[in-house]
Amino acid sequence: MAFVVSHGEVRGLARPTTSVPRSLQIAPGYTSDYAAIWRTHGSVRTVTDFLARNIASLGLHLFERAGDADRRRVTDHPLAQLIGRPMPGQYRYAFVEALVQDIAIFDRYLAVKMKGTDSDAPHALVRIPPMIWEPAGDDWTGPTEFLVRGNRGTRTFTRDQVVYIGGYSPAGELGGVPAIESLRSVLAEEHEAALMRAQTFRNGARASGYIERPAGAPPWSAATHARFKAAWRAQYTGSGADVGGTPILEDGMKFTAAQQSAKDLQYIESRKLTRQEVAAAYHIPPPMIGLMETATFASLKEQHKSLYTDTLGPWLQRIQQALAANLLDDFGPEAADMYLEFNIEEKLRGAFEDQAAQLQTSTGAPWLTRNEARAMRNLPAVEGGDELVVPLNVLTGGQASPTDSGTQNQRASHTPRVKAVGPIEYELKAPAGDTIPAEETDPLVKVFRAHFKRQRAAITSATGAKSPTWWDGKRWDAELAEDLLDAGSDLATTAARDVLTGMGLDPDQYDTPRTEAFLAKVAERIASQVNAATLRQIEAALADDDEDDEDDVDPVGHVFDVAEESRADQAAMTAAATFVGFGMAEAPRQVAPKATKRWVVNSWNPRASHAALDGEEVGIEEDFSNGMPWPGSFTGDPEDVANCQCSLVIIR
């Protein structure tokens, strides 16, 4: 038969107060010291409050196991209701806060289960202040009963009548050994140092130093000495009305300064050291409690993430397991598959932007309706706002939104330009020069800079000697085309393989040698265009130099300065877009020759020529009606290609 604890039986227990009367203390040597330390040492209270506040702010939920890999949250069970409201007038936060404080300060916690006459399950938990109870019993495995002294006498509760959490003790003491015990010497030293500093500041002269009377000065009577001493203290020490005045000495006295500042007394350093020691005893990183000397923004962000896993994780496990062990048996066999768990996720969710990106990537589609978004901004719902808006180019198997660049293949830098928009349709975004990653353009930048350096050396020497054959166009075109083909072929192959991977096809089916002849022509065309531009700039610079003989600037050298510093980057971006675009379009031509392709306009204000092409569908080997094989193709008019936002949909 379960023991029933009624309201009347616990009403006589002393309530927790700031000072428990000595008559109500079971073991004053054990508990009163720790309580006094917590009240008087700010570092201890800072740390224990930190623990209690952060743990109490977490939700404590009840779950039921529904198989090895599934669970269900339970909200209507009496245990869930008990945890949510441990006793009338008390809420869960206050219950958990008091529990953590008791464990942090005393390394033990006790609450009496209040049960009704019609049920063995408790309907309330009454916390017993550590100052008025002590564990008892002769079982070395743990206490079997608890002695509680109230204002009406002492009561004894058995183990099944209470919720008991006790700490570890190497000697087997009942109740555990608090962390404060290991801090006694540190806190005692800090206490004495604080008293010394207070006395120094209280009794020290505001004009700190000492007074010397010359050896030949007339002797003082006792009354004269007392008068001078009283006047000095009233004016220069303590909190008298004349504090801070100017000293007036007599009889040839001399004042010798002996200033002792707060720095000399190491006031700040001592306080920081004590707080660090207390934080270390409770395994809390110093920056978490305000010691920011070595903290950075990055380190604080990472420490916040680890706070509820590494720092508070053991506390959470201890509490939720202890509560389950003390309470589940009271609710019968139906609670055998239930367990309690703190909701750490609510503290680790991060900023709303991070949560939105993670959910969008995880679900593969937009996840918030317009009315849900309006409610977050306290705006009224609108008609039709409860429907989830999905962009037309996002279907099952595609990305979460047109702005999402998430991909399973993070190795390939241009994979985000491939988006599956249906079971047989795949969208390829035309590569723009400013969207191509640096790792793709860097090899081409090196090619162009090396080419311009060779040209500088040869042409500067020839023009200086007034050689009529200073420009060798065939040489420059051949050298640059060869170098471009090596770098560009790799880019095209990588882009093609990424497209096939995104389409769900085998990337090894792509035949690189099959494209070499065509890419060689592309490289020759790019080389010819770049060298032609260089020749025009040199001829213009030489002509300007002939008209202005007073200018000492090397005209040819200036052309190549600009070429190496800026033209190389611009030419590399254009060339990279060309090679990557070719690889993206060539891949489906090789592997899916029966496929068709559709021109899609994405801009809200497209060119008229592009708007006319929107939705046009042709064979994979055919050109569109504007003569281009794909949006952004190098075969089109440069003005028609620049900043093109259109995309290509491959239909298998």
pLDDT in tens, 478-522: 999 999 998 888 888 988 888 888 777 888 888 888 888 888 888
Residue 164 included in any domain: no
Q: What's the pLDDT at 28?
A: 43
Contact criterion met (CB below 8 Å) for 289 and 279: yes
Q: What's the pLDDT at 431?
A: 63
CA distance 195 to 33: 18
| DSSP-derived 3-state class of residue 617 | strand
Bridge-based pairing of strands 122-127 and 108-115 is: antiparallel
* Size of the chain, expressed as the number of residues it contains: 652
Residue 590 included in any domain: yes
Please tell me whether residues 381 and 488 are part of one structural domain: no
Q: What's the pLDDT at 544?
A: 74
CA distance 329 to 336: 8
Q: What's the pLDDT at 356?
A: 66
Q: What's the pLDDT at 414?
A: 43
pLDDT per residue over 138-170, tens digit each? Answer: 887 888 899 998 888 889 999 999 999 988 888
Please tell me whether residues 385 and 489 are part of one structural domain: no
Per-residue pLDDT for 239 more than 70?
no
Please tell me whether residues 474 and 589 are part of one structural domain: yes
CA distance 216 to 252: 9
Residue 232, Cβ density class (10 Å: 0-12 exposed, 13-18 middle, ≥19 buried): middle
Q: What is the DSSP string of 89-118?
A: T--HHHHHHHHHHHHHHHSEEEEEEEE-TT
Residue 14 included in any domain: no
Say which amino acid occupies 142.
Answer: G
Confidence at 111, pLDDT banded by 50, 70, 90: very high
Return the biggest CA–CA distance within the chain: 123
Average pLDDT, integer, range 43-47 = 86
Bridge-based pairing of strands 418-420 and 133-136 is: unpaired
Q: What's the pLDDT at 161?
A: 92
- Of 198-202, 403-407, 585-589, the least confident: 403-407
Per-residue pLDDT for 418 more than 50?
no
Please tell me whether residues 639 and 577 are part of one structural domain: yes
Please tell me whether residues 619 and 511 are part of one structural domain: yes
Per-residue pLDDT for 589 more than 80?
yes
pLDDT per residue over 459-468, tens digit each? Answer: 877 766 456 6
Q: What's the pLDDT at 407?
A: 37
255-285 residues labelled b (16+ CB within 10 A) or e (exposed): eeeeeeeeeeeebeeeebbbbbbbbebbebb
Q: How many domains does the chain have?
A: 3
User: Which H helix or E strand runs over 428?
Assistant: strand 425-429
Please tell me whether residues 497 and 562 are part of one structural domain: yes
Residue 86 included in any domain: no
Q: What's the pLDDT at 156?
A: 92
Confidence at 430, pLDDT banded by 50, 70, 90: low
| 388, 400, 421, 427 from 395: Cα distances, Å | 13, 9, 5, 12
Q: What's the pLDDT at 41?
A: 80
Average pLDDT, integer, range 44-55 = 89
pLDDT per residue over 4-36, tens digit each? Answer: 444 444 444 433 344 444 444 444 445 668 888
| 368, 425, 620 from 419: Cα distances, Å | 22, 9, 18
User: Which H helix or E strand runs over 299?
Assistant: helix 297-306
Say which amino acid occupies 518.
Answer: F
Residue 181 included in any domain: no
Residue 552 included in any domain: yes
Q: What's the pLDDT at 195?
A: 65
Residue 373, Cβ density class (10 Å: 0-12 exposed, 13-18 middle, ≥19 buried): exposed
Q: What's the pLDDT at 148?
A: 92
| DSSP-derived 3-state class of residue 201 | helix
pLDDT per residue over 538-549, tens digit each? Answer: 888 877 766 655
Q: Report how far apart the first and last C-alpha atoms of the chain are (Å, whole number).
A: 75
Residue 582 included in any domain: yes
What rounded mean pLDDT belongs to the chain? 76
pTM of the model: 0.48
Please tell me whether residues 453 and 385 are part of one structural domain: no
Please tell me whether residues 555 and 620 are part of one structural domain: yes
Average pLDDT, integer, range 54-83 = 87
Residue 48 included in any domain: no
CA distance 602 to 429: 10
Confidence at 411, pLDDT banded by 50, 70, 90: very low
Tokens of 504: 């769900």
Contact criterion met (CB below 8 Å) for 594 and 443: no
Please tell me whether residues 562 and 494 are part of one structural domain: yes
Q: Which residue has the tokens 């006694």?
A: 184
Say which amino acid occupies 391.
Answer: P
The range of the structural domain enclosing residue 238 comes to: 189-217+226-257
Tokens of 642: 């620049």
Better-predicted residue by pLDDT, 129 or 27: 129
Better-predicted residue by pLDDT, 70 or 652: 70
Per-residue pLDDT for 319 more than 90?
yes
Contact criterion met (CB below 8 Å) for 405 and 361: no
Please tell me whether residues 576 and 640 are part of one structural domain: yes
Per-residue pLDDT for 457 more than 60?
yes
- Closest C-alpha to 52, from 120, 131, 106, 123: 106
In a 13 Å sphere around the CA of 156, the CA atoms on its Cβ side amount to 6
- Closest C-alpha to 603, from 638, 633, 570, 632: 632
User: Which H helix or E strand runs over 166?
Assistant: strand 162-166
Please work out, in degrees rounded to the nearest 5, the angle formed at the alpha carbon of residue 465 by the alpha carbons of 463 and 468.
Answer: 65
Please tell me whether residues 538 and 466 are part of one structural domain: yes
Phi, psi angles (nearest 5°) of residue 207: -100, 85
Q: What's the pLDDT at 62?
A: 92
Average pLDDT, integer, range 294-321 = 74
Per-residue pLDDT for 422 more than 50?
no
Phi, psi angles (nearest 5°) of residue 212: -115, 135
Distance of CA 474 to the CA centre of its chain: 57
Q: What's the pLDDT at 642?
A: 63
**Contacts with 303 (C-beta within 8 Å, 6 or more apart), sequence order:** 285, 287, 288, 295
Please tell me whether residues 386 and 442 are part of one structural domain: no
pLDDT per residue over 252-303, tens digit each? Answer: 787 776 555 545 545 556 566 677 788 888 888 777 766 656 556 555 666 6
